[in-house]
Structure 1
């Protein structure tokens, strides 16, 4: 890039940082919180996760579920989460209003306690991180836009560091120069890992995430296998003739981590295979704990038994290689089909590896420590950036970098176009920024012409 671009990039870098710094701080702190949600929940919910009811009588899983339904009128079971010992079994329940609660059963299938799903530590951290606990399309887009502009800040910061020779040794450097040097040094070190963290989180974003997910669905060879998109159906001949025409209940959305399914009630319960019988079939299929069982939504639906690498449920995550989704007939329990990691396309594999890397549990504690270090360093970069600005800021003025005197170069346009194509929402925001910059440029030009005349 030409020398004339330095002021322009500095100016854009400054305004971008000024406007999105509060969002970036919020996202980084909530991301740090989410890094350790399993550790926090294991301590905070110790009784629910590992406690015992104390009753000596042992119930079957189905008797335990019936007891739970009786105690929670208006709610129905949507999912059974079977975890490795010493974790208790967790039931996900919903009502017609979409409210969700978790109920825990001990090893005797007796009720231990209940949680309001909305206010668990993991769900709260995730809601703050993805939608600032407000939700809505506009807020989701705002969060994604902040992530995109963070990448712009990292790239432009890298350019200015080397173009402006920020590491040049100076005799008796001022406080501002010291802050600028630390801002540049740490920013340079964390650029690549921070970009990796941001890009592995974008698949769950509102705009770009939907685009990636649609591409994965529309092109199974590189994305999500058709079998996972369109589950098979159960054998209708297994349904008793007397109940075959009964209307099946409808399913409603769930916020279980980044997706899921919730049913208002089990279809044809008298004809369905019991959960205990299904678990025996799961064992026969050599599917080991932990796994989740999702109820059928209709008479034709199937039991879905899955293992995921990014479930958002303490104790449920598995290695990406072990991720799989299997489908069992709801009437006879036969394993109909199964799709695993090896069947995924390159995009789906990216989801499977990238998201747990972003969340900090892909390779255990080292992953958490690396992510934590990068996040804390990013906060320091923001701090030193603000400190550098405040050191040169004049009282009563914003003290923004000067407007670039030269025209826009081809290299600058090319740089922006590439970033805009890689991050479409960022590209759209550039149009707005360009319009504002154009208005400022024309206004200043007109003032100069008037003064000259």
Structure 2
């Protein structure tokens, strides 16, 4: 056999082995990819959708001076005496109402108050239709198990994008690189090659954006999210424990995400300090609001009220630009700043993830970011759809799976499996699943080889 033929055979072995991993992962997770892409494309436009759904509650006409936050809270208590106020949302737009977070028994909701008249404009319980979409997107409406499935699928999506790039990358033929980026729409080479060209080109164009969206989404997941937090904390690249530095005797074991919602990712696990010894009269919400404004926090932001005698006022940014994020804790009696963490205080990894999350949610650069996210979601849907078309045409009416055949070169199989495992090491669930596949493959292969040896004996 010539050297050229040996090289060609080796390349085919690599291609076949990589394709086999790519094929099975794509077939298994295709339905979840579709669900994530559809729900994600809808949730990107949450601000516009909710403004339209709740326009009578969230918008008002600017008319004179604003009434105090205390008066607005009293209006909520008067209208809904059974409700407990937990937070107050302030927005920069002058035609928006104040959003007051409330608990109606065990159910969370929002009451909206006109800041100019002090009148309640409406209430809503739960997160509404967008909350339903978010639950499907984050956990397939299956709780913890669903969240793990989403994380596993997202992790494998990154592996699929990397292996797919290898499979479709040009291999020296003249003009091949151009065909990768700009596929021919002519069907002269056959319908399957036509779909293969579209599938590969859309994937190549989408890969970087999809990796950014999927990778940042893993920061919210159950296993990878905790793993990322642990790595960031141990490498001191997450957030400083206290950027302002309170007295250590006043700290607690409560973290920010336990007492407040809608807070920046980087400060969710920041330990919340406690207020000093109780005094007869705590400071007012308006005083906290003024103190925060004086110290550079800009609207939109949320004021979370103290929980208990040692609780603190927490102010957290609701800003779309991660670089303007800030989280502050105030002593409820003295108004002393117990902790203040801004984007500039984040470690490198926390900054990167915060920017990635902003991109993931379509908030990093406004409407353009939302449209880019939508295009990427539609691209993912097309990639999955075209892969199903390719598989169907490959079957050609056959009543079986017609998966790519296993390469006979065991050395290549092992190297490719090792590379897949190496890629997955940054994603715990994917790494675990790859190890399981490798072990099962080894056991099944050895069993088949043993059976063949017995038959030959």
TM-score (norm 1): 0.83
Structure 1 residues 230-249: aligned runs within 5 Å: none
Q: 2:96 — aligned with what?
A: 87
CA contact (8 A) 2:155 2:424 kept: no
Which residue of 2 is the match for residue 147 of structure 1? 154
Q: 2:342 aligns with which of 340, 344, 352?
A: 340
Q: 1:388 to 1:318 in 2, by over 3 A?
A: closer
> Residues 52, 111 of structure 1: CA spacing in aligned structure 2 closer, same or farther, 3 A cutoff?
farther
- Are the structure 2 counterparts of residues 414 and 191 from structure 1 closer, same or farther at C-alpha, using a change threshold of 3 Å? same
| SS of the residue 1:227 aligns to | coil
Map of 2:437 onto structure 1: 433
1:229 Cα offset (Å) = 11
What is residue 71 of structure 2 aligned with on the other side?
Answer: 63
Give the Å deviation of 1:435: 3.0
Which residue of structure 1 lines up, in the alignment, with residue 389 of structure 2?
A: 387
Change (3 A) 1:61 1:260: farther
Residue 371 of structure 1 is matched in structure 2 by: 373
> Taking structure 1 as reference, are residues 439 and 415 closer, same or farther at Cα in structure 2, changes over 3 Å only?
same
SS in 2 for 1:332: coil
1:225 corresponds, among 230, 240, 243, to 240
- Does 1:288 pair with 2:298? yes
Answer with 437-446 or 200-209: which moved more: 437-446
Instruction: Tell me the number of residue pairs that the alignment of Structure 1 and Structure 2 aligns.
Output: 423
Report SS of the residue matched to 1:271.
Answer: coil
Q: CA deviation at 1:18?
A: 0.9
> Aligned to 1:420, which of 397, 417, 424?
424
Q: Which residue of 1 aligns with 2:406?
A: 403
Q: Compared with structure 1, are the counterparts of its residues 382 and 292 closer, same or farther at alpha carbon in structure 2 (3 Å cutoff)?
A: same
Residue 233 and residue 52 in structure 1: after superposition, are their counterparts in 2 closer, same or farther (change >3 A)?
Answer: farther
Decide which of 33, 36, 39 is 2:42's aligned counterpart. Answer: 33
Question: Do the aligned partners of 2:99 and 2:111 also contact (CA within 8 Å) in 1?
Answer: yes
User: Contact between 1:231 and 1:327, CA under 8 Å: does it hold in 2?
Assistant: no
Distance 1:229 1:182, change over 3 A: farther
- How far does the alpha carbon of each residue in 1:197-237 deviate from its partner, in whole angstroms, 9 at most, with x for none? 211222111111111112333444x21111169976999xx
1:21 aligns with 2:24: no
User: Offset of 1:350 from its aligned partner?
Assistant: 1.4
For 2:290 and 2:54, how far apart are their aligned partners in 1? 29
Change over 3 Å in CA distance of 1:38–1:57 after alignment to 2: closer
Name 1:5's counterpart in structure 2: 14
- 1:445 paired residue number: 449
Q: CA deviation at 1:66?
A: 2.5
How far, CA to CA, are the matches of 1:278 and 1:234 in structure 2? 23
Deviation at 1:428, TM superposition (A): 0.2
Q: 1:353 aligns with which of 334, 352, 355?
A: 355
Q: Which runs of 5+ in 2 are unaligned?
A: 1-9, 251-256
Decide whether the 8 Å contact of 1:59 with 1:110 is kept in 2.
no
Q: 1:213–1:96: structure 2 CA closer, same or farther, 3 Å change rule?
A: farther
Q: CA shift at 1:177, angstroms? A: 1.7
Out of 120, 126, 131, the residue aligned to residue 134 of structure 2 is 126
| Distance in 2 (alpha carbons) for counterparts of 1:300 and 1:200 | 35
Q: Alpha-carbon deviations, 1:143-167, whole Å to 9, x = none?
A: 0110111111111111121378885
| CA gap 1:339/1:381 in 2 versus in 1, 3 angstroms | same
Summarize the Cα distance change of 1:113–1:120 in structure 2 as closer, same or farther, 3 Å threshold.
farther
Secondary structure in structure 2 of the residue aligned to 1:4 = helix
Shift of 1:444: 4.2
For 2:375 and 2:200, locate their aligned partners in 1 and report how far apart those are by CA, in whole Å. Answer: 17
Distance verdict in 2 for CA 1:104–1:218, change over 3 Å: farther
CA contact (8 A) 1:53 1:111 kept: no
